[in-house]
Chains A and B, each alone.
Chain A
């Protein structure tokens, strides 16, 4: 058995405990806040000492969260349906942990819930509720907003400074509720790739009804994207920040399968130059971001839209390549030794069970990857940079070998 295989076998069943991510986030926030408070106190003390100013306590700390939704009158075409509103509140109160992530750490529901919107939607009646809560040992109340539909709590969102205000539900997850939050929401489906490989999207405003809530229907296969902005993005502008509701986040449970090809980690198809000028680059490569900014890679909203693997390669001409998977297709980018973007790579479909083959431009060879496989004449594990002119490559998994044509 090889050392790497033995190490992988020894760790194969390991995963973080449920709630780990939340503990990290909460702990990180606490530690960061403590550091800032200590720094501020030190600066203030220094300022007080040098100026002779006596510091006094502030008495202007707000006692309750000031969010109109906590007390607003119910809007929507079911606002007069007292039975539905009562049922929504009952469901909300009955399953207090539903729709929350373990690390939201809500310790107390401090006030009554309020249904601020209730209406019929293409996926049935739905209600949006708000409630003041306490989080951990934070003395300030927070606002919890959530959706009740289909006989249960679909999603809850805790105010953490930047509310997404986007909910998805329904039998085929095709109904979206987008909260205006005092602004405009634009949405788009079905990106189109032009002859120059650049994508474009047509945006339209989500028309908000009573309560500032827009109801939008879009199938997931249409790749809907929502943004909150003053004006609609231009068709080839991929610089907007997409709204990502809770549904878009990775489930916070152990043993979530890796998406796409199912691979995990970063493997290199060639060895890095130990010596020589220019590498590592001053600027770390960011192929996903670079392709997205250029309109070559679509908005990655859902956590499973991209694989969790990448393959890198140092090329004969000194450049660096990185290949990854998104939306079931292969993408990549080439970088100069300085780290500046050189060229995009669009590698076609990623097919599970089939080695990844990405030809490189300018006679730099072909990246062949098959995690845990032995590739090429030297049987390099995981990935191999086949030299230019290579017609086919042998890939072996255990005793099973196959020949992969490269041309």
Chain B
């Protein structure tokens, strides 16, 4: 299992960053789901060792979506910064890093997952669809609607997508 340990040691930081965005900026939750996903990979390593990163990202995306589903069933307080006002208008020319996370936290989970996989992890539409077990058309529509929603939340002047 040396190569699994190497994978965990080498890629945990990058995967944690993905998990953090998927969890809408909740670092504890990001560490929890990452640890859970990696622990689950231990027993499956022989089967998935040829493409562990793709497996991990797909599992993280699904774990984050499930987490949100569980949260939505409970009458739970929103995340501490989810309702914080975002960019202060066109006069604000610089987007502070946290505002992206705050905006992501306000998106529906599947929409957020699609944006993170597409724009942070640079997955193609096809790879994103494969990771989430949905069609490319769904990825396209979620991407389009997600970007539009982010624009509403953050202000078109301060965020571009290219």
Which B-chain residue is minimally distant from A6 (CB atoms)? Answer: B100
Return chain B residues, CB-CB under 8 Å to A272.
Answer: 124, 126-127
* 8 Å CB interface, B87-137 against A: 94-95, 97-101, 115-116, 119-120, 122, 124-127, 130, 136
B63 close to A (CB within 8 Å): no
* 8 Å CB interface, A269-321 against B: 271-272, 274, 280, 283-284, 286, 303, 308
Return chain B residues, CB-CB under 8 Å to A382.
Answer: 122
The residue in A31, A162, A381 that gathers the most chain B C-beta atoms within 10 A of its C-beta is A31
Bound-complex Cα distance A4 to B2 (A): 33
User: Contact flags (1/0) for A178-194 with B, using CB distance below 8 Å?
Assistant: 00000000000000000
A266 close to B (CB within 8 Å): yes
With an 8 Å Cβ cutoff, the count of chain B residues facing the other chain is 54
Known A-B contacts A1-B159, A20-B31, A24-B38; the reply to A11 vs B12 at CB < 8 A is: no
Return chain B residues, CB-CB under 8 Å to A21.
Answer: 5, 8-9, 12
Which A-chain residue is minimally distant from B18 (CB atoms)? Answer: A11
Return chain A residues, CB-CB under 8 Å to B161.
Answer: 2-3
Bound-complex Cα distance A28 to B51 (A): 18
A52 close to B (CB within 8 Å): no
Return chain A residues, CB-CB under 8 Å to B159.
Answer: 1-3, 6
Q: Which of B6, B94, B136 contacts A274 (CB 8 A)?
A: B136
Bound-complex Cα distance A305 to B25 (A): 33
Bound-complex Cα distance A9 to B94 (A): 12
Q: How far is the CB of B67 from chain A (nearest CB, A)?
A: 18
Asked whether, in the complex, the Cβ of A274 is within 8 Å of the Cβ of B124, the reply is yes
Which A-chain residue is minimally distant from B103 (CB atoms)? Answer: A6
Bound-complex Cα distance A95 to B94 (A): 50
User: Contact flags (1/0) for B1-32 with A, using CB distance below 8 Å?
Assistant: 11011101110111011001100010100010
With an 8 Å Cβ cutoff, the count of chain A residues facing the other chain is 47
Return chain B residues, CB-CB under 8 Å to A25.
Answer: 1, 5, 8, 42
Asked whether, in the complex, the Cβ of B53 is within 8 Å of the Cβ of A20, the reply is no
A82 close to B (CB within 8 Å): no
Bound-complex Cα distance A17 to B12 (A): 10
Stretch at the interface among A206-214, A244-252, A325-333: A244-252
The residue in A28, A31, A274 that gathers the most chain B C-beta atoms within 10 A of its C-beta is A28
Asked whether, in the complex, the Cβ of B14 is within 8 Å of the Cβ of A284, the reply is no
4 nearest A-B residue pairs (beta carbon): A28-B42, A11-B17, A284-B50, A10-B97
> Interface residues, chain B, CB within 8 Å of chain A?
1-2, 4-6, 8-10, 12-14, 16-17, 20-21, 25, 27, 31, 34-35, 38-43, 50-51, 53, 94-95, 97-101, 115-116, 119-120, 122, 124-127, 130, 136, 147, 150, 158-162
Query: Could you give 8 example pairs across A and B, Cβ below 8 Å?
Result: A1-B159, A2-B159, A3-B160, A14-B27, A24-B35, A28-B43, A249-B5, A266-B53
